[in-house]
Amino acid sequence: MELLVCGMHRSGTSAVAHMLAGACGRSFLEDPDWAMTGRLIDVAGQAQELERWELVKCPRMTEVLAEALAACRQARAVVLVRDPRDVLCSILEKVRAGMPTRMLEFRRLGVEEEGARGFAQAYRLYAQIVLDVLDGPAGGRVRLLPYESFCADKLGTVAGLADWVGWPCRVAAVASRRDEQLGPWHTKAAGDQSIKGSRRWRRELSEQDRALLTPALTAHAALLARA
C-alpha cells in the first residue's frame, strides 16, 4: 500500500479514491470484506494483502491509522474531513432508503449511544485518532483534505495528491467524471445518483440532531485547523 484514503465514512473517500486511481492508473482496493465486520480491524493480520495494492480506500481504517502506517512503512494517508452534519445527513439518506447499514454502530470504539448522539461521539474519537497520528512520528505521512476543498476543485486536488505521493497523473483521464456520483452505488436510493454536496444539513437535518452534534463540530474545527 502506497496510499490509504480514509476518514469518517460518507466523507468523500470513494470519490477521491476513484478519481485518483483513474488519473494515476493505480491498483485499487476498496472496502475489503474483512474491514466490514463489527470489530476493530487487525491491520497486522492483513498486511500482506495491503501490500498487494497501491491505493487502498477504507474509512474504517481511520480507527487504526497509526497501526496501518506502522504495518506499511512506506505508505501515506489522506484523511477526508467533512462537516459532521453533512456526514450524518448522508448516512440518514441511506437509512431512510431502507438499506441496512452499520454506519451508526460504534460499540467497537466503546460508544454505547446510538443515533446522532453516538455518531457525534464516534466522530470525536475519529478526529482524536487522526490528531494523535499527526502529532506522532508518522505525522508527516498524513494529509488532511477538507471535503469542500475537493468539491471546489476535484481535478486540482487529484493532481496535488498525485504529486504528493509521487505518482504520474493524467487528470484528463477522469475529467469527464468530476460531476458523477462516485460513491458506492448501493448507498443511494434507486434512481437517485445525485451529489448533494456541502451544507445539505441546512435542508435536511432536524434541530434536535443538530444540537446533539456539538462535540463533533468541535472535533471538526480542530481537524480543519490542521488541514
- Identify residue 138 by its one-letter amino acid code: A
* Residues contacting residue 33 through CB under 8 Å, at least 6 positions apart: none
- Identify residue 156 by its one-letter amino acid code: G
Question: What is the distance, to the nearest Å, from the Cα of residue 55 to the centroid of all Cα atoms in its chain?
Answer: 14
pLDDT band at 184 (very low <50, low <70, confident <90, very high): low
Least confident of 25-39, 74-88, 156-170, 184-198: 184-198
pLDDT for the residue numbered 182:
66
Q: Report percent pLDDT > 90 for the chain.
A: 77
Q: Report percent pLDDT > 70 for the chain.
A: 91
User: Looking at the chain, which runs of residues are DSSP E strands?
Assistant: 3-7, 28-30, 55-57, 76-81, 142-146
- For the chain, the straight-line distance linking the first and the last C-alpha, in angstroms and rounded, comes to 23
pLDDT for the residue numbered 110:
95
Read off the pLDDT of residues 208-227 as tens digits, 9 standing for 90 and up.
999 999 999 999 999 999 99
Q: Is the pLDDT of residue 72 over 70?
A: yes
Question: Residue 24 in contact with residue 169, Cβ under 8 Å?
Answer: yes
Dist. CA 137–CA 135, nearest whole Å: 7
pLDDT for the residue numbered 116:
94
pLDDT for the residue numbered 181:
66
- The alpha carbon dihedral of 6, 7, 9, 11 has a sign of negative
What ranges do the domains of the chain cover?
3-224
Grouping H, G, I as helix, E, B as strand and the rest as coil, residue 99 is coil
pLDDT for the residue numbered 93:
85
Q: Is the pLDDT of residue 179 over 90?
A: no
Question: Residue 134 in contact with residue 226, Cβ under 8 Å?
Answer: yes
Neighbours of 2 (CB within 10 A): 17
Closest CA to 3 of 46, 67, 58: 58
pLDDT for the residue numbered 176:
87
Please state, rounded to an integer, the average pLDDT across all residues of the chain: 91
CATH C-level class of 3-224: alpha beta
Read off the pLDDT of residues 45-70 as tens digits, 9 standing for 90 and up.
999 999 999 999 999 999 999 999 99
Grouping H, G, I as helix, E, B as strand and the rest as coil, residue 219 is helix
pLDDT for the residue numbered 189:
55
pLDDT for the residue numbered 145:
98
- Identify residue 157 by its one-letter amino acid code: T
pLDDT band at 100 (very low <50, low <70, confident <90, very high): low
Least confident of 10-19, 34-43, 155-164: 34-43
Neighbours of 7 (CB within 10 A): 28
184-207 mean pLDDT: 71
Grouping H, G, I as helix, E, B as strand and the rest as coil, residue 30 is strand
